[in-house]
Amino acid sequence: MSLPSLRNLHGPGRVLLLGLLLGMTILFWPTRELRSDNFVFYFPDKRQVIPVQMIGQTKYLPILTILNMVGKVGGLQEKRDSVKVWFGETPLEFKVKDRTVRVDKARVKLANPPLVSNGQWMVPVEFLTAVLPRLTNQVVEYPLGSNRVFIGDVKPTSFTVRLDQLPEGARLTLQFTDKVTIRTVATNGKWVMFLGERPVEPLEPTYSFKDPYVKELHFDDQDGLPKLILQPTSTGLNFYPALVEGGKVLLADVLKPTPSAAQQAQSAPPAAPGATPPTTQPGAPQTGAPGSIPSAPSPPSPPLPVVVLDPGHGGSDNGARARDGVLEKDLDAQVVARVRLALLATQKFRIVLTRTGDVTTSFEQRSQAANEANAVCFLTFHAGDLGPDSPQIALYTYAPPSPFSGPPNSSMPPAFIPWDNIQRLHIDSSRNLATSLQQQFMQIAGVKVDPPQGAPVRALRSINAPAVAIELGRLAPEVNSAPLTSSDFQQLIASAVTRVLINLRGGG
């Protein structure tokens, strides 16, 4: 049975058939045309936003647009099922449903084949890392699963997130790896925080909270403008953002509105029957009144002990690298940021960092920062391949590479010890610190902790304070960094360090 011709139908019959055809078209339309989003290309001096299509489960980008962004298309020869494009002098050849792309004389196999959509030749997103570096001779960093790519010498800012409870609300603390600027707007019951012009790569696109005040923090840069979108749990809350630490820390408080004086009076409990307001004796001085006797000034508070935190590597020294692209220098900075905030929250310590931002810092500069601050403790953080287990923690104290011929370290005055060997005075206390850290780290479920070891660690040698190197593993080219970049794992590390230092300092 065949459908009747439209020209033979009139009135309601023709309308009914058109509706049937439209419904069948929608029902059987290819599932590859699902939706279109934006994809951001970050360059050292610019950024550009282009559309990205989800076809099936794969992201596709228009090939000619990509090539014209990174260079110039010199020619195009298109056939029915293939196309040849000249990028400068280099020919590229694509065939429909063929995963192999020909680049000059080389053949590069992609995970998904190129295709034609709406008259445009499209390539899967893995083309960015498989082919583009061959054409541009530039580094191409694509965070897997994201809608952004960094081409050339682009160092995006990252950040860690922590949520703390306040008496009438909650505080989000965001530690950035570089300085940012903040501009906030309120829209649709949410607060949007624009992070300035620097490229940003979040560790996680969305942070969800089980909190009575804060529901979610989401990162978005679909329009090329990096921003954070904060969604409160309910309406009627106040939002107070503030940048501190030179623009590297954002404190965002979500608070209940402060009641007015009239509301406070209405909510005050009634006086007990027969109670009389307090009175003062005639002539008795009143606090703050003219003629009152000033109270004696409070003695100055003793200075807080200084803890020096040292994020390993930095700048041109990347350290180890994981399969998913996470660098040791960035992981060290993330962990130190969490430890710093945890120690500051106790209000018992002053914190000094040997490195802020992605800068190259020498061992001498790190030692000088610690010794000039008169530190009571020095902790340096690193990450690497410690074996098959992940996460894993190793602790190191300084051990001289050769026996020391001078007097015992307990009685040798600092004036007679070469500055490069000053850590010899603190070997015993450093071992005690390492043992305490090991005991706390062993309480973290699922983490293997090695016994503390002595080694000629250069980062510890010139530190005039108890000093320990904390190494996190496994960060290696054959594995992803997820166990180490987990916010839960890093927060447990920070809490363990905080407990150790509070105990060793006798509570402050």
For the stretch 240-278, pLDDT in tens is 888 877 788 898 888 887 554 444 444 444 443 444 344
Cα 269 from chain centroid? 47
CATH number of the 306-402+417-504 domain: 3.40.630.40
Residue 493: in which H helix or E strand, if any?
Answer: helix 487-504
- Higher pLDDT among residues 198 and 266, named by residue: 198
| pLDDT for residue 7 is more than 80 | no
Q: Are 423 and 463 in contact (CB under 8 A)?
A: yes
Is the model's pTM score more than 0.75? Answer: no
With bands split at pLDDT 50, 70 and 90, how would you rate the model's confidence at 382?
very high
Look-up of token digits 């090539």: 67
How far apart, in whole angstroms, are the C-alpha atoms of residue 501 and residue 490?
Answer: 17
DSSP state of 23: H
Q: Are 393 and 409 in contact (CB under 8 A)?
A: no
pLDDT of residue 409: 45
* Percent of the chain residues past pLDDT 70, beyond the cut: 80
pLDDT of residue 403: 56
| pLDDT for residue 46 is more than 70 | yes
Tell me the average pLDDT across 301-308. Answer: 85
Angle among Cα 394, 398, 403 to the nearest 5 degrees reads 135
| pLDDT for residue 42 is more than 90 | yes
How far apart, in whole angstroms, are the C-alpha atoms of residue 126 and residue 142?
Answer: 9
pLDDT of residue 79: 87
pLDDT of residue 201: 93
| pLDDT for residue 320 is more than 70 | yes
C-beta atoms surrounding 325 within 10 Å: 14
pLDDT of residue 14: 52
Q: Are 487 and 329 in contact (CB under 8 A)?
A: no
pLDDT of residue 285: 38
Mean of per-residue pLDDT scores for the chain: 81
| pLDDT for residue 333 is more than 60 | yes
- Higher pLDDT among residues 324 and 146, named by residue: 146
pLDDT of residue 110: 93
Tell me the average pLDDT across 336-358. Answer: 87
Joined tokens for residue 224: 């090329």
| pLDDT for residue 20 is more than 90 | no
Every domain of the chain and the residues it spans: 35-151, 159-255, 306-402+417-504
Tell me the average pLDDT across 55-62. Answer: 92
| pLDDT for residue 282 is more than 50 | no
Joined tokens for residue 165: 């409870």
pLDDT of residue 245: 79
Q: Which of 162-171, 294-303, 328-337, 374-383 has the lowest mean pLDDT?
A: 294-303
pLDDT of residue 418: 58
Look-up of token digits 């690193």: 382
pLDDT of residue 6: 42
With bands split at pLDDT 50, 70 and 90, how would you rate the model's confidence at 301?
low
DSSP state of 303: P
| pLDDT for residue 11 is more than 70 | no
pLDDT of residue 494: 92
| pLDDT for residue 86 is more than 70 | yes
| pLDDT for residue 146 is more than 70 | yes
| pLDDT for residue 121 is more than 50 | yes
With bands split at pLDDT 50, 70 and 90, how would you rate the model's confidence at 130?
very high
What top-level class would CATH report for the domain 159-255? mainly beta
What top-level class would CATH report for the domain 35-151? alpha beta
| pLDDT for residue 499 is more than 70 | yes
Tell me the average pLDDT across 358-377. Answer: 90
